[in-house]
Amino acid sequence: MTSRVISMGAHIADALGWPFTTVPPGQHLEFIEQIKFTVAGTAAAPSVNLAKLGIDVATVGRIGNDTIGDFVRSTMAGYGVNTDHLIVDPTRQTSASLLPIRRDGSRPALHVIGANAGLTEEDVPWGVVEQAEIFHLGGAFILPGLDGTPMARVLKRVKELGLTVTMDFLMSPRDDAQALIGPSLQYVDYLMPNIEEAGWLVGSEDREEIIAWLHGQGAGHTILTMGGDGVSVAANGRAETVLPAYEIDVVDSTGCGDAFTSGLISGLLDGLDVIDAAERGLACGSLVATGLGSDAGIVDREQVAAFQRTQPRRAA
């Protein structure tokens, strides 16, 4: 089966607890209302949501030879994702995170990079890629075997094959960030970080400066997700358009950016312009925020369209 989208990068299993209010002292017990296990990561979560939206998608990454990896593979396959190109790493565990979710939807994260560290350019299934339409690279900065020059080589070849390239990254502040990502940005058609991470990368909190730097590196479009402030969309060299956020009750912010990615990609495949595709992405991200975990909220394309028609928006 030909996959229209190849999603390569971070594959993570999340263990989420809600609501997190305090760390009990010593060996004391504190009760919470819900614990959930989900497939997450900036390549895996978009794959799941794309499948929900009716898109044929193949996911590419590494998992460990462990029960967590079995969970990631079987869960993704259950949603209809092509998991044939999930490689079992013989020496590393499956990447995983512990996420204690606060009542406002925010959360700290405890993360094991695991098998994601073993992903390299040799893992790209080029015979499958050359038949696809969109190549999504999710997880720059937590893929040490791919970050930097190898990533640029991969994306250059993808562009030479004629595919559209989308990218999201997952980072904390680091001194080498610009050197790692800079060579790849000229091959990215749609760059979709959240505003905080983009600011860490550029070294500025000024959105105009952030956009200008990313455009200067060659990114075709910057699409900055901004939580309650909506989404900034700007084609290279042009002024931004800010799409207002939806009025929702946020349960958990985990996976909202990944859901946005899936909505935007599905919109592009449907022939929508970037603004309308981003509008679908915004709806997808908002739906995921209303539940616990990366797999919450989205049911199918019809539900997303109904949400877009009926859900109130915040003031611009």
**Using one digit for the tens of pLDDT, what is the confidence trace for 44-65?**
999 999 999 999 999 999 999 9
Query: Whole-angstrom Cα distance, residue 34 to residue 291?
Result: 11
H/E stretch holding 110: strand 110-112
Task: Identify any residues that bridge with 243 across adjacent strands, giving them in sequence order.
Answer: 231
- Cβ atoms of residues 132 and 4 within 8 Å: yes
pLDDT score at 293: 79
In the block, which residue shows the tokens 């994260």?
109
Query: Whole-angstrom Cα distance, residue 158 to residue 46?
Result: 19
Query: Whole-angstrom Cα distance, residue 310 to residue 211?
Result: 31
Q: Please list, in sequence order, all residues whose beta carbon lies within 8 angstroms of the beta carbon of residue 121, skipping any fewer than 6 positions away.
A: 146, 150, 151, 153, 154
pLDDT score at 251: 86
- Cβ atoms of residues 95 and 112 within 8 Å: yes
| Overall fold of domain 5-21+33-310 | UDP-N-acetylmuramoyl-L-alanine:D-glutamate ligase (3.40.1190)
pLDDT score at 176: 96
pLDDT score at 33: 92
- Cβ atoms of residues 22 and 150 within 8 Å: no
Q: Please list, in sequence order, all residues whose beta carbon lies within 8 angstroms of the beta carbon of residue 193, skipping any fewer than 6 positions away.
A: 168, 169, 201, 224, 225, 257
Q: Is the peptide bond before 19 cis (omega within 30 degrees of 0)?
A: yes
In the block, which residue shows the tokens 């909506």?
230
Low-confidence ranges of the chain (pLDDT < 70): 1, 316
Query: Whole-angstrom Cα distance, residue 281 to residue 293?
Result: 17
pLDDT score at 105: 81
CA dist 159 → 50, 186, 304 (Å): 21, 10, 30
Query: Domain-by-domain residue ranges, the chain?
Result: 5-21+33-310
Query: Whole-angstrom Cα distance, residue 198 to residue 2?
Result: 33
Whole-model pTM over 0.85: yes
Cα angle 46, 47, 48 (rounded to 5 degrees) comes to 90
